Each structure stands twice: as C-alpha cells, then as structure tokens.
C-alpha cells in the first residue's frame, strides 16, 4: 500500500535462458510499480513469504525505510526493516551528505549528446521512437544513482506501438540494483502492455558512453534470449 492509500502489485519477473541474476524479485517489481505510479512513500507491504536478503537490502534505499510495515507468514503482525535487517549497510555508509532517497524527487543534469540528436533527427517521422527516446531521457533525469552517478533510462516499444519506460535504480550494496531496462519491463507488465517478451519491438537506451556502469551489453544479452527480433538503439547522453 502506498502513502496515497492506493494498492499496487508486484510479481517475480524472470528471463528464460538468461542468467538468474537478471531476475526481478516481486518486492522490487512492486517498488518500481509504485515509483512509476507517482507514489512518494510506501506504508505497508504484504508478501507471500518473508522477503529475501536481496529485497531487504533493496528496500534500505526507500524514503522512511524504517517505517514500512512488512506482513507475511501466519503471524499477521507487521515487522519492520530494523527487525528484518538489523545493523544494515545503507545509503549513509556511502554518502556523508544527505541526498534524495528512492521515491523522493530526483533531478539529474543530463542531456542528449550530439550523436543522439543526429539519430533523433534521422527518425523524425517515427512517433513511437521519438516518444521512447523522450521517456528514456526523462528516466535518466529521474533515475536513482547516487553512488556511481551513472544516470541512465530506457524505454520499450511494443509491437502494438505502446511505450513503457524506467530509470536506473541503485542499491548501496550494488548487486540488488535494477537496470533501466528491467524497470521499463516492469512498467510494461504492470500496465498490461506486454503479454510476452516477443511483443517487444525495440528498446531505446539512454546512457553515457563513458559511464563506469553501462547497460548496453546486458540488454543485448537479454533481448537475444527473450526477444531476438527486437532492435536496440543506444542514444548517448552528455
């Protein structure tokens, strides 16, 4: 349940024939769903089993993480992150100064590089591509990457011409981080826009070519496994 009182769902998302570390856990899916729906806080989380350590660490990034209620098992009494992950490693361990946490407003100073502007001009008549590029750029501007500052965003264009997008989400522990492509896939699934991976026509990825964290190669790998007919366009950020 979000702070607004609205209820959201999250499910496990897996990529057949791809490494398991690309799987999206249900709790992560839920958080991306809340984020893409404009929620600014999470009040309670009901799960079918105790959250794994991966997800407990992921939720350490959330605004007011210590107040989120976790409900699972036969005992319906809520538990809190301090119960589930005491003495945890989190944002304060990597940053001395306060910064906007996950679900708080982000504003990253990125823009298109000249090469991206040229690619956009070359496909000026492709409305779905133009929308996907705009949403990928917005995803990069609003992404959560306080540790590496490798801002990136992605958008998925479906065979029906619909566009879904997301921004990179980092974890202080690094491994639980979600790529912008993963977040765009969650957006598509939760908005009933992706019946199967074969419905992906193109992915537009916006990232800096000199970034220490890049998603290009992993997105290509995933598409080769689940949507081999889909195209990938990488637009460089400046």
Catalytic residues: 27
- To the question of whether residue 183 is assigned a binding role by annotation, the answer is no
- To the question of whether residue 52 is assigned a binding role by annotation, the answer is yes
- To the question of whether residue 150 is assigned a binding role by annotation, the answer is no
Tokens of 145: 């990457």
Q: Which of 125, 219, 211, 208 is nearest to 178 (CA)?
A: 219
- To the question of whether residue 14 is assigned a binding role by annotation, the answer is yes
- To the question of whether residue 219 is assigned a binding role by annotation, the answer is no
CA distance 165 to 157: 9
- To the question of whether residue 55 is assigned a binding role by annotation, the answer is yes
Provide DSSP, the chain.
Answer: -BTTS-------B--TTS-GGG-B-HHHHHHHHHHHTT---B-EEE-SSPPPHHHHHHGGGBTTGGG-EEE-SS--S-B-HHHHSTT---GGGT-SS----BTS-------B-HHHHHHHHHTTT-HHHHHHHHHHHHHHHH-B-TTT---EEEEEEETTS-EEEEE-B--TTSTT-B-HHHHHHHHHHHTT--SSGGGEEEEEEEE-TT-SS--HHHHHHHHHHH-TT-EEEEEEB-
Positions at the binding site for Zn(2+): 25, 52, 55
Positions at the binding site for substrate: 12-14
Positions at the binding site: 12-14, 25, 52, 55
């Amino acid at each position: 349940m979000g702070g607004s009182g609205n209820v959201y769902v999250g499910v496990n998302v897996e990529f057949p024939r791809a490494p398991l570390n690309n799987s999206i856990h249900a709790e992560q899916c839920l958080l991306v769903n809340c984020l893409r729906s404009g929620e600014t806080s999470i009040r309670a989380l009901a799960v079918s089993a105790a959250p794994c350590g991966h997800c407990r660490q992921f939720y350490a990034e959330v605004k007011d993480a210590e107040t989120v209620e976790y409900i699972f098992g036969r005992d319906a009494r809520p538990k809190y992150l301090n119960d589930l992950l005491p003495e945890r490693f989190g944002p304060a361990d990597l940053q001395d100064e306060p910064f906007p946490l996950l679900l708080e407003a982000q504003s990253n100073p990125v823009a298109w590089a000249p090469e991206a502007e040229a690619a956009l001009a070359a496909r000026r008549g492709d409305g779905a591509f133009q929308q996907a590029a705009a949403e990928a750029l917005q995803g990069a501007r609003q992404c959560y990457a306080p540790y590496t500052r490798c801002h990136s965003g992605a958008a998925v264009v479906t065979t029906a011409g619909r566009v879904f997008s997301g921004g990179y989400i980092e974890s202080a522990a690094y491994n639980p981080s979600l790529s912008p492509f993963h977040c765009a896939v969650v957006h598509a699934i939760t908005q009933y826009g992706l019946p199967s991976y074969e419905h992906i026509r193109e992915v537009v990825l916006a990232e800096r070519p000199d970034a220490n964290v890049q998603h290009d190669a992993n997105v290509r790998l995933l598409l080769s496994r689940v949507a081999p007919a889909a195209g990938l366009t990488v637009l460089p950020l400046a």
